[in-house]
Copies of this chain bind each other. A is one copy, B any other.
Amino acid sequence: MTETNNNNQESSSNPLQQVTFLLHKYKLVEGLVNLQDDTNPSLSESEVQKQNLTELQVFLDQLHPADIANILEALPLEDRLLIWGMIKTDRDGEVLLETSDAVRASLITDMGTQELVAATEYLDADEIADLAPDLPQEVMDDVFRSLPIEEREQLRAAMSYPEDSVGALMDFDVITIREDVRLEVVLRYLRRLDEMPDHTDQLFVVDRNEQLKGVLLINRLIVSDPDILVAEVMTKEMIKLRPNDVAQQAANAFERYDLVSASVVDENNKLLGRVTVNVVIDFIRETAENEALNLAGLSEEEDLFAPILKSVKNRWGWLAINLVTAFIASRVIGLFEDSIEKLVALAALMPIIAGIGGNSGNQTITMIVRALALDQINTRSAWKLITKEVGVSIVNGLLWGTVVGLFTFAIYQNAELGLVMTLAMTLNLLLAALLGVMIPLTLRKLGRDPALGSSVMITAVTDSGGFFIFLGLATFFLL
């Protein structure tokens, strides 16, 4: 693990600024050299050029792979590939691991089979498995052939777990010990290692059959008398994850119990590997990000500088759905064209009812989705929640409905129109509250992600429903 000095607030943007600056200098001189090439080639310019290149290379060499990945993501494609070419092969793999999927794909496309195989040589089996979905089949074949048997098995195991499972987060860097030895023996054993795997805060105590018996915390090992047995200081109560557990469950456990690492065992309690906190942090960040992207209808992570057509494609799904719901809403309005013709104010007022309903529904959904993610809702509390949300919507509806009604009266000097606005507002907020609770609960019951699509659905309902309620009431009472 490379650590860097980090003495001021802007530090994390510094590497990017620095590289952009050096790159700019390099390209500027390159431009000059090219300009002179056909007229009067000047050695000194190309010397400067070489010097700039070296400066850039030296700077890149001392950066952490995660910083390099961030720089690559922030650069337009052309510059990105220029910098990528300057990264040493033995660091390629680590950098690829740190980039987002979209940017990783743009880098891999630029590499040959040989280069890709070479890049994986410096990675562990679980890390290769992370890259596997993005690598061409022939590269994976070569990689498999080049691995020693044990690692080949690990790679096969790691690749067999679904993406959002604990197995996908797992690594194989476990140190195992036996319970019937003295701590001094453990310490001597450890001292024979060159280094311990990162995030080793505990050793796993197993028997002859690799069954997990307990864990020995490193901090306990250090403060305990070296003469006592492992069995006397090991902890038997511990988190045991299963490779097929949902990854989110592991993240919850790390967050609740403040873990640095946790064991992964199979159904027979055999130790398979471990999950470490750094992987969990990446998972939490990614999940939060994907949620934000999904909410905005971006089907996947998008490279900031992706070609236009690729971006268009990434954004289609949601826009298409939105178009369908907009058409439906439009047809609902179409039903009432006669009413609008007679009282054109209706056209100006109807978006208010629909808009406020959509916002209010989205507020309710956000509350419910959050509570579902934290496992805080069961059948008994679901009813209480519906009652509460309905109460909130009635208060909000009467309150804001009155404001809207008064506004309408002020503009159109029509008291009945004002009353219809108030009533329509209250009813649409009521609809939003009911569906705001029921949509995510139903999605969950159907085994779906309660967040995904909730927002589209509620907006569709409050739009079409809002138009229908308002125009219907107006037609009934006013015309």
Interface residues of A (CB under 8 A from B): 1-9, 11-13, 16-17, 20, 64, 66-67, 70, 73-76, 98, 187, 190-191, 193-196, 198-201, 218-220, 222-225, 235, 237-242, 245-246, 249, 252-260, 277-278, 280-282, 284-285, 288-289, 291-293, 295-298, 302, 304-306, 308-309, 311-312, 315, 318-319, 322-323, 325-327, 329-331, 333-334, 337, 340-341, 344-352, 354-356, 359-360, 362-363, 365-367, 370-371, 374-378, 380-381, 384-385, 388, 391-392, 395-396, 399-400, 403-404, 407, 411, 463, 467
Contacts and interface: CB of A to CB of B under 8 A. Distances in A.
A459 to B, nearest CB: 8
Nearest 7 pairs of A and B residues by beta carbon? A74-B376, A288-B288, A296-B366, A258-B278, A347-B347, A66-B256, A333-B348
B356 A354 contact: no
A130 to B, nearest CB: 15
Nearest to A404: B323
Contacts of A334: 345, 348, 411
A97 to B, nearest CB: 11
Nearest to A260: B260
Nearest to A464: B351
B253 A12 contact: yes
A160 to B, nearest CB: 18
Contact of A3 (B238, B356, B395): B238
Stoichiometry, as copies per complex, reads 2
Given A311-B392, A396-B315, A297 B344 contact: no
Given A222-B218, A326-B355, A344-B340, A319 B256 contact: no
Contacts of A17: 378
A201 B291 CA distance: 33
Contacts of A194: 223
Contacts of A8: 242
A367 B304 contact: yes
B257 A3 contact: yes
Nearest to A408: B330
B3 A384 contact: no
A395 to B, nearest CB: 5
Nearest to A17: B378
13 contacts: A3-B235, A9-B249, A74-B381, A191-B224, A195-B219, A255-B278, A255-B285, A284-B288, A296-B365, A322-B355, A327-B352, A334-B345, A337-B344
A16 B375 contact: yes
Contacts of A306: 388
Contacts of A281: 254-255, 277, 280-281, 284
Contacts of A223: 190-191, 193-196
A162 B68 CA distance: 31
B376 A73 contact: yes
Contacts of A193: 223
Given A11-B249, A12-B253, A258 B374 contact: no
Contacts of A344: 337, 340-341, 347
A239 B395 CA distance: 52
Nearest to A16: B375
A343 to B, nearest CB: 10
Contacts of A288: 284-285, 288, 291
Nearest to A407: B327
Contact of A200 (B219, B297, B347, B396): B219
Contact of A400 (B302, B311, B319, B366): B319
A389 to B, nearest CB: 8
Contacts of A98: 256
A345 B351 contact: no
Contacts of A352: 323, 326-327, 329-330
A359 to B, nearest CB: 5
A59 to B, nearest CB: 16
A285 B340 CA distance: 48
A6 B253 contact: yes
B2 A237 contact: yes
A369 B66 CA distance: 20
Contacts of A392: 308, 311-312, 315
Contacts of A219: 195-196, 200, 218
Contact of A296 (B11, B245, B325, B362): B362
Nearest to A62: B237
